[in-house]
Amino acid sequence: MHRADHHPSRRAFLDVSGVALAAGLVAGCSPQPARSDRPDSSAAAPLAKVAATGRHQAGIALPRSAQRNLLAVVADLGAEVAPGPLLAELGEAVRALTAGSDPQLLGLAPGDLTVTVGVGPRLVRTAGATLPGAADLPRFSRERIAPQARGGDLLLQICASDALLLPVVAAALLDRAGDRVRERWRQSGRRGTEVPVADGLTAPRNLLGFIDGIVGPHTTAEQERDLWLAGPPAVAGGTLAVLRRMELDLTRFAALSVAEQEAVFGRRRDSGVPLSGGTVASGPQLAAKTPDGRYLVPVDAHVRRANPTAVGVGHMLRRSYSTDEPLGLLFVSFQNDLRTFTATLTRMDASDALLPFTTTTASATFLILPGFDQRHPLGSRLFG
């Protein structure tokens, strides 16, 4: 994470080559073999580009399987900065970067790069105090959050299969914003091995060894119901994001037996199948009991405490990433009602066997702006 007093500027771009090299080493890049005149038939095919424009921003439901690497940058706008022109410029930069036409890519192919832009509650309230996204996240238990790591005006979520792209794209976007923004915090992460959970749907393993993000609004109908904002017109097609960076007590969790770990989650560790049976995609049968009257899914299991039906809320779409520094998880969820998250975490706070292994060190919520195109710049419906 960068220091809180970091001021993004054009100077930041000059350091990007060293940062990109470091990112490549972390990602496990190996020396390139000597060139050969013969074509390399084993070379991976170019990744399909993800369109930056449309009804919704990319990086949420598209691509369907989230890219392996993420960098989230949270920043504040200067007090006198008008958000409309800045967002429009960032949208143009996103289009150029994802198309591969921006020279600040340093010759890197964009592949499946996506950049998702959100605005924080303070900016949303300037457009309307009752708009979705105008409310701040409440505070919860098990938080150890420095002031600089709580909230923020601007989110840049950068995702790509190529880890080298992340710092390069962040530097280009912050260079475009110049002195109009001040960075608060940033966090990089990567997804574990993807495991098939249903037809055409995969989910990754997290640092605790369990499959993460099985439940969610995956079909178009489910996403229209629980993910995308239907209105008012200024925000229609957008969604609400929650970011929570959590440290995990990996050592203490690993000391549990496999059966104890499975009781914490309420799922089998190897397969992801609920303890109540079925398949990995099956919903847990919360009423199912053993012959002697014990619940198959323990009363404090995570899948029970966070179950949308039990909470009485819709589903979240999660695109969470494991982190090295700190060792833990960057939880990212998208939903069209902030209560989907807040009510769920409130119920988990009361009794969830997973929470004692977590400490939240950063927290923010953002209105993810509706999609954009050449005729309708990013953010123009809200700040036009």
The residue that leads in pLDDT, 97 or 5, is 97
Q: What is the DSSP string of 288-346?
A: -B-TTS-BSS-TT-HHHHT-HHHHT--PPEE--EEETTTTEEEEEEEES-HHHHHHHHH
pTM, 2 dp: 0.88
Q: Determine the Cα–Cα distance for residues 269 and 210; give it in Å rounded to an integer.
A: 5
Residue 41 clears pLDDT 60, i.e. is over it: no
Question: Which segments of 214-286 does DSSP mark as H helices, in order?
Answer: 220-226, 250-254, 258-265
In contact, 111 and 47? CB cutoff 8 Å: yes
The pLDDT of residue 373: 97
- The count of C-alpha atoms lying within 13 angstroms of the C-alpha of 12, restricted to the half-sphere facing its C-beta, is 21
Which residues on neighbouring strands pair with residue 358, listed in sequence order? 248
Parallel, antiparallel or unpaired: strands 114-119 and 154-160? antiparallel
The pLDDT of residue 384: 83
Residue 99 clears pLDDT 90, i.e. is over it: yes
| pLDDT tier, 45 (very low <50, low <70, confident <90, very high otherwise) | confident
Q: Determine the Cα–Cα distance for residues 267 and 362; give it in Å rounded to an integer.
A: 27
The pLDDT of residue 211: 96
The pLDDT of residue 171: 98
For residue 63, is the peptide bond before it cis, meaning its omega torsion is within 30 degrees of 0? yes
Work out the mean pLDDT of the chain and round it to a whole number: 91
Residues 6+ apart with CB under 8 A from 282: 273, 274
Task: State the average pLDDT over residues 353-378.
Answer: 98
The pLDDT of residue 43: 58
Residue 17 clears pLDDT 80, i.e. is over it: no
Q: Determine the Cα–Cα distance for residues 356 and 333; give it in Å rounded to an integer.
A: 21
Q: Determine the Cα–Cα distance for residues 383 and 363; give it in Å rounded to an integer.
A: 25
Task: State the average pLDDT over residues 239-261.
Answer: 98
The pLDDT of residue 320: 92
Indicate the SS3 state at residue 279. coil
| pLDDT tier, 44 (very low <50, low <70, confident <90, very high otherwise) | low
Residue 97 clears pLDDT 70, i.e. is over it: yes
pLDDT in tens, 274-323: 999 999 998 999 999 999 999 999 999 999 999 999 999 999 999 999 99
| pLDDT tier, 199 (very low <50, low <70, confident <90, very high otherwise) | confident
Domain ranges (residues) in the chain: 50-383
The pLDDT of residue 276: 98
- Phi–psi pair at 134, nearest 5 degrees: -80, -15
| pLDDT tier, 272 (very low <50, low <70, confident <90, very high otherwise) | very high
Task: State the average pLDDT over residues 1-16.
Answer: 43
DSSP character for 31? P
pLDDT in tens, 122-174: 999 999 999 999 999 999 999 999 999 999 999 999 999 999 999 999 999 99
